[in-house]
Structures are given as C-alpha cells and as structure tokens.
Amino acid sequence: MLLLIEDLYAYVNILYQSPDIGQYEGGGLQCVRYRSNGSNYLSEEERAFATSINENRSKMSICLLYIKVGGLRIPNWNLQANIHGFVTKGTIWIGIIDENGKPAVTYNVTCGQIFFIPRNNIHWIKNIGDAEAVVVLYFSTHEEFFTDEIDFVFSLTPEDILTRTLQPEGGVDFIRSFERRNQSIVLNLPSNPTDSITRQYPQSDITLVWKYFYDLEGARKLVYNRAETAWAGFYQNTTGLIENAIVYGNSVFSKLHYPYPDSLSLGVLRILPYGLWLPHYNLNAHEMGYVLRGCGKVGVTNEQTIEFDIGLGDVVYFPIGKQHYIKNTCEEDLILIRAFSISLENITLYTWLYNCNNITIYTRYYSYNNITIYTRYYNCNNITIYTRYYNYNNITIYTRYYNCNNITIYTRYYNCNNITIYTRYYNCNNITIYTRYYNCNNITIYTRYYNCNNITIYTRYNNRNNITIYTRYNNYNNITIYTRYYNCNNITLYTRYYNYNNITIYTRHYNYNNITIYTRYYSCNNITIYTRYYNYNNITIYTRYYNCNNSSINFHLSINTVHNTSH
C-alpha cells in the first residue's frame, strides 16, 4: 500500500533526526512544533506532524533539551504553555520563581524523574552532573510558542530604565558594562564547566519541591500482561499513594489548589519483548509518546490500519478517538515516555477485537470517579470494580458483539454510584453487583438482541437503590435480585419482544421495596418472588400481548400489595 507523507507522518516524527535544532555553546534544543509561517518548516515530514497536532488541537508539543557538563539553560519563561519535563540522562538543578515573585524553589532532578514548570514562571535548568544531560520537554500547547530569555529582555530594555530599576552603585556605567545582544544565548557554558560537579546547590524545603517534582521511577506501577505503566497525575482516591504523589497531583491538577489550565499527565509505558499494547482508543485525551528505548511497530486505524516502525528518538501521536496499538518487535524492552492531555482524574478504557483482559479497578474513600469501559467484538474480559466508603462514582460499561465477560461490581458503605451496563448483540456475560451498607445507587442494565446473560444483584443493609433492567429482543437472561435487611429499593424490570428470562427476586427482613415488572410481546418468562419476614413491598406485574409467563409469589410474615394485570 502506497502511503502519502501526510498519512504516515501525521502520527510519527523522527525527532532525533529533525533538522529543527538550535545549537548553542551550552547545548542544543530540538523541537517538533507548529509554525504559523509554513516556510519555516525544514522538511515535509515535520510539516505533516506539526499540522496534525495543530489541526487536532492536541494541546501538546515536544522538544529535546541537551545540556553540556556545566551548561545552563538561562533564566526564561514561556508565554503560552506549561512545561512538563522528564530527565532521560544526567542530573540537573532547577530553579522556579512563581508569578508572585516569592523566593525561588530550587531542587535536583535525575534520570527517571519529572518536573513541572507553570506558564509565565521564570526558571532555569543547569547540568550539575559529570556527563551530558538530556531532558524530554512537553509543552501544553499545539500553537506556535515562544520563550523570553532574561538576557535578551535585559538587552532590549533602555539603559536609563535599567539604571532606575536596579539602582546599581556604579550607575549607568555598571549597566553599560554588560554585553548587549541582538539574540539570546539560550544555553551558555561557564569558563570552568567542571566546577559545577563539585559545588553544592541549594535545595528548597521538600514540601515546596513536591509541588513541581515527582519521582516517577519510584511510583506505583500498574502491571498488565507483558507491560507495565506508571503515571504522575491527579487521583481523587489517594489510598496507597506516597505523599509526593498526593502533593504533586493536588498542586498541578486539582482545581481546589493550584489550577494550571491544560496541564498534562506524564507517564512511562514499558512493553516487554514481543509484547503487545492492545488496540484501544481514548475519547477524552490526546496522547503523545517519545521512544526512549527499544523498537517496535505502531498501528493506527482510519478506514484501514496504517502500521509503521518506531525506534529510539521517535515521537508518536494519537488524536482523540483514534484506535491504535503498540507492539514490541525486539528482544529488549520498548519504553515510551507518554503525555496525555488530561489529568487522569477521569478514567476511560476501551478494549475490543478479541480481548481477554483482566481489568481490576479499586476506588476507595471519598471517590468521585468517572469510569467508562467499552468491550466490543468477541471479548472475554474479567472486569472487577471495587467502590468503598462514601463513593460517588459514575460507572458505565458497554459490552457488545459476542461478549462473554465476567463483570463484578462491589459497592460498600455509603455509596451513591451511578452504574449503567449495556450488553447488546449475542452477549453471554456474567454480571454480579453487590451493594451493601447504606447504598443509594442507581443501577441500570440494558440487555438487547439475543442475550443470555447471568445477572445477579445483592442489596443488603439499609439500601435505597434504584434498580432498572431492560431486556429486549430474544433474550434468555437469568436475573436474580436479593434485597435484605431494611431495604427501600425501587426495582423495575422490562422484558419485551420474545423474551425467555428466568427472573427471581428475594426480599427479606423489613424491606419496603417497590417492585414493578413489565413483560410484553411474546414473552415466556419464569418469574418467582419470595418476600419474607416483615416486608411491605408494592409488587406490580404487567403482562401484555401473547405472554406465557409463569408467575409465583411466596409470602411469609409479609404485608405486600400485589397487582397482576394481563392483556
């Protein structure tokens, strides 16, 4: 298949070979970014990639910063973007002066660690190691961006203004002793570069440093089949996180603390030899990755799948909603430094095309997560979600086209979750939901088109859940609901169009449930309801249009109101 430049290079850029590199006495700066003047692009490949990230409004650009031993990225500030940096080699010393002019926050950063520099904050980066330092810089903009270097701004300011502002003892003669330049040095080198290796550099209080620094190398890792990933983002649920992760997440991402618009989430993805990062896509974030080590292939799907090789120094970009996969084709680990255009407060996961994943999500202690899972086309996933202690989650699961997933959801202790599950087109899922201890969940399940799901819901101990199940179009579901101990649930079941469901409901021990069942259009359901021990249920069953249901209601020490209407 013949690929056009704009087809392939919309998703990949060979950054380390890019001609767009600035060479300075203290190092170099190599970028792939959008330019408003198209004549400033140095290759058609660069133009295609930059146009792609701009037209898709990715909110991301990327640069590589090389600093020689003792070299200094002179104090500067960025006018359009926040900066997220990942040190891939060496040790650097960073200083940041915020917009309020407080004393600089200074700290060291070494390989595997990341740093954050807010928009318009004056900062510097100095190599204090004994070898060249290399830093991957992500800028939170897809537009053309500029930096102001303090030496160049100094050179542009009139002498009398500088004299009156700084008030040096030598007056205007002192100001004139500085060299005036028509452009910035950007990266300079001291007369004795090795002196920086032995010097001690000031370190700010650790609680201040953590607002701008995160040790990703020591972070909690998520392990998958032949792959692992670690993230520096914001999490509502901070259980198990180290203090550095909590402070960094709140400082950079939380709107309650320091809201920096368009901040990115940085992370590392490691794929073991010949491993595959399965086909997926993101509907709430753009994704960009820099290949730090190894080699492999990336596939991106439009009307057809485009596959291309990647290796050390390459940059890949996946727009929102673009299905893609990454596979390791070498005998060493494939490592990518990835950036997402969200804070990771929202979780969106999509698996499809013959997936057999084990997916486990824990949300604990005052969580407000949005969790969405899509499983499509011959999936046999094991999906388990635990929500505990005052959770207010929105959980949505879509399973479509010949799925045989095991889905289990545990909601415990004062949960008010919204749980919605859609199962369509020849699904044979096992769905189990446990809601316990003062839950007020909204649970809605849609099963349509030749489903044979096993659906079991347990609600216990002072629950006030709204449970609604829709089964339509030739369903053969087994539906079992247990409500026990002081429940006040609203339970509604709709079964329509050639349904052959087995429906069993157990209500026990002081329940005040409203149970309504609609069975319509050639349904042959088996409906059994057990109400025991001081129940005050309202039970209504509507059966209409050629139904052949078997209905049985068993009372024991209950005061129920029963309505059964047929048509």
Predicted confidence at residue 18, as pLDDT, reads 67
Predicted confidence at residue 237, as pLDDT, reads 67
Q: How far apart are CA 213 and CA 161, in angstroms?
A: 36
Residue 347 pLDDT grade (very low, low, confident, very high; cuts 50, 70, 90): very low
Q: Assess whether pLDDT exceeds 80 at residue 480.
A: yes
Q: Assess whether pLDDT exceeds 60 at residue 67.
A: yes
Min mean pLDDT across 232-236, 294-298, 304-308, 503-507 is at: 232-236
Is there a shared CATH topology between the 5-217 domain and the 219-234+251-330 domain? yes
Q: Assess whether pLDDT exceeds 70 at residue 405.
A: yes
Q: Assess whether pLDDT exceeds 80 at residue 216.
A: yes
Predicted confidence at residue 111, as pLDDT, reads 95
Residue 14 pLDDT grade (very low, low, confident, very high; cuts 50, 70, 90): confident
Cα first-last separation, the chain: 61
Predicted confidence at residue 1, as pLDDT, reads 43
| Residues 353, 325 contacting (CB under 8 angstroms) | no
Query: To the nearest whole percent, how much of the chain has pLDDT over 90?
Result: 26
SS3 state at 439: coil
DSSP H helices in 22-103: 44-55
Retrieve residue 230's tokens: 């670690």
Q: Where are the domains of the chain?
A: 5-217, 219-234+251-330, 347-566
Q: Assess whether pLDDT exceeds 80 at residue 181.
A: no
Q: Which of 132, 83, 140, 95 is nearest to 111 (CA)?
A: 132
Predicted confidence at residue 40, as pLDDT, reads 84
The superfamily in CATH containing domain 219-234+251-330 is: Jelly Rolls (2.60.120.10)
Q: Assess whether pLDDT exceeds 70 at residue 544.
A: yes
DSSP per residue, 513-542:
-EEEEEEESS---EEEEEEESS---EEEEE
Q: Which of 472, 494, 468 is nearest to 481 (CA)?
A: 468
Q: Assess whether pLDDT exceeds 70 at residue 565.
A: no
Predicted confidence at residue 513, as pLDDT, reads 83
Query: To the nearest whole percent, how much of the chain has pLDDT over 70?
Result: 82
Q: How far apart are CA 396 and CA 350, in angstroms?
A: 12
Predicted confidence at residue 353, as pLDDT, reads 47
Predicted confidence at residue 163, as pLDDT, reads 66
The whole-number average pLDDT for the span 160-184 is: 64
Predicted confidence at residue 478, as pLDDT, reads 87
| Residues 373, 347 contacting (CB under 8 angstroms) | no
The whole-number average pLDDT for the span 521-538 is: 83
Predicted confidence at residue 190, as pLDDT, reads 79
Predicted confidence at residue 2, as pLDDT, reads 43
Residue 384 pLDDT grade (very low, low, confident, very high; cuts 50, 70, 90): confident
The DSSP code for 366 is: S
Predicted confidence at residue 352, as pLDDT, reads 47
Predicted confidence at residue 295, as pLDDT, reads 94
Query: Which of 114-123, 158-167, 535-544 has the largest mean confidence?
Result: 114-123
Predicted confidence at residue 53, as pLDDT, reads 94
The DSSP code for 441 is: -
Residue 208 pLDDT grade (very low, low, confident, very high; cuts 50, 70, 90): very high
The DSSP code for 258 is: -
| Residues 131, 122 contacting (CB under 8 angstroms) | no
| Residues 411, 417 contacting (CB under 8 angstroms) | yes
Residue 19 pLDDT grade (very low, low, confident, very high; cuts 50, 70, 90): low
* More confident: 223 or 285: 285
Predicted confidence at residue 368, as pLDDT, reads 72
Retrieve residue 79's tokens: 């006018």
* More confident: 37 or 344: 37
The whole-number average pLDDT for the span 469-491 is: 84
φ/ψ of 161, rounded to 5, equals: -70, -45
What does pLDDT average to over the chain? 82
Considering the four listed CATH numbers 3.30.70.270, 1.10.357.10, 2.40.50.100, 2.60.120.10, the one that applies to the domain covering 5-217 is 2.60.120.10
Predicted confidence at residue 117, as pLDDT, reads 94
Min mean pLDDT across 168-182, 195-209, 215-229, 363-377 is at: 168-182
Predicted confidence at residue 339, as pLDDT, reads 94
The DSSP code for 500 is: -
Q: Assess whether pLDDT exceeds 70 at residue 331.
A: yes
Quick: pLDDT tens for 424-460: 777 787 898 988 778 788 899 988 877 787 898 988 8
Strand order in the sheet with 83-89: 21-24, 27-32, 61-67, 133-139, 83-89, 114-117, 213-214
Predicted confidence at residue 535, as pLDDT, reads 77
Retrieve residue 368's tokens: 């407000």
Q: Assess whether pLDDT exceeds 80 at residue 303.
A: no
Predicted confidence at residue 157, as pLDDT, reads 62
| Residues 427, 446 contacting (CB under 8 angstroms) | no
Q: Assess whether pLDDT exceeds 90 at residue 554.
A: no
Q: 3-state DSSP helix/strand/coil percent for the chain, to nearest 5? A: 10, 45, 45
